[in-house]
Amino acid sequence: MKIAPSILSANFNHLYDDVKDLKKLGCDYLHVDVMDGHFVPNISFGTLAYENLKGKLDMIFDVHLMITNPLYYAPIFIKKGADILTFHLEVEQDKDEIIKVIKENGAKAGISIKPKTNVEELVPYLDKIDLVLVMSVEPGFGGQKFMENSLPKIKFLDDYRKKHKLNYLIEVDGGINEKTAKLCKDNGCDIAVCGTYVFKAKDRKKAIEAILNLWFVRL
């Protein structure tokens, strides 16, 4: 399994040093949560949160847009270094057009769903995208409790992927720790987004290894 530490929980006073250490400990992804205060009730940060890290760290920059207008902003975030750009299924924009714009600008395309969204609504897009992000908390704030109703969604996505011979990755975000990561793994998850669990850990090496050692990733 891969871990994508979420910098939403990081201390920006020493962000580069922290992320560099996480890379050494086996984290290949860096998760960036972008919130506009409209799509979700919180405001986070823009491209400055990661663009200065892009040239210094050999990591996959996994940018999650929790915004109402991903169609407009997608090229901007990709230009600044997003390798994977994920938008929400719930936005009121043409999803096929967003996917097209993301790929035309050189990034991999992901779609995320909130906890109350029916996972089957993703089906029309699953053969067009590279990643599905299942939110296991209500998006907008870190440190929330894992919602177990996300597990059947992960299982559905894994079964659908196998049945139709697709290659999208399944990522889960929200309330991830050693226990909940195993539940996600058992249902087919590939990448665990970890914020509080990693950045607030007393022993980050031990916390990361606990998840990395759960299984051999299919990537």
**Tens of pLDDT along 70-120?**
999 999 999 999 999 999 999 999 999 999 999 999 999 999 999 999 999
Please give the share of the chain, as a percent, with pLDDT higher than 70: 96
Residue 143 in this model has a pLDDT that exceeds 70: no
Give the predicted TM-score (pTM) of the model.
0.93
Query: pLDDT tens-digit profile of 21-73?
Result: 999 999 999 999 999 988 987 788 888 888 888 888 999 999 999 999 999 99
Q: Which helix (H) or strand (E) holds 74?
A: helix 70-79
Residue 174 near residue 196, CB atoms below 8 Å: no
Residue 19 is predicted with a pLDDT of 94
The pLDDT value recorded for residue 119 is 98
pLDDT for res 155:
98
User: What confidence score (pLDDT) does residue 16 get?
Assistant: 93
Per domain, the residue ranges of the chain are 2-212
Amino acid found at 13 = N
Residue 144 pLDDT grade (very low, low, confident, very high; cuts 50, 70, 90): confident
Mean pLDDT of 168-187: 96
Q: Among all residues, which ones are annotated catalytic?
A: 33, 173
Given a contact cutoff of 8 angstroms between Cβ atoms, the answer to whether 33 and 65 are in contact is no
pLDDT attached to residue 115? 96
pLDDT of residue 219: 38
Q: Would you tell me which CATH number, out of the four given (3.30.1490.20, 2.40.30.160, 3.90.800.10, 3.20.20.70), belongs to the domain 2-212?
A: 3.20.20.70
- The helix, strand and coil proportions of the chain, stated in percent and rounded to the nearest 5, come to 40, 20, 40
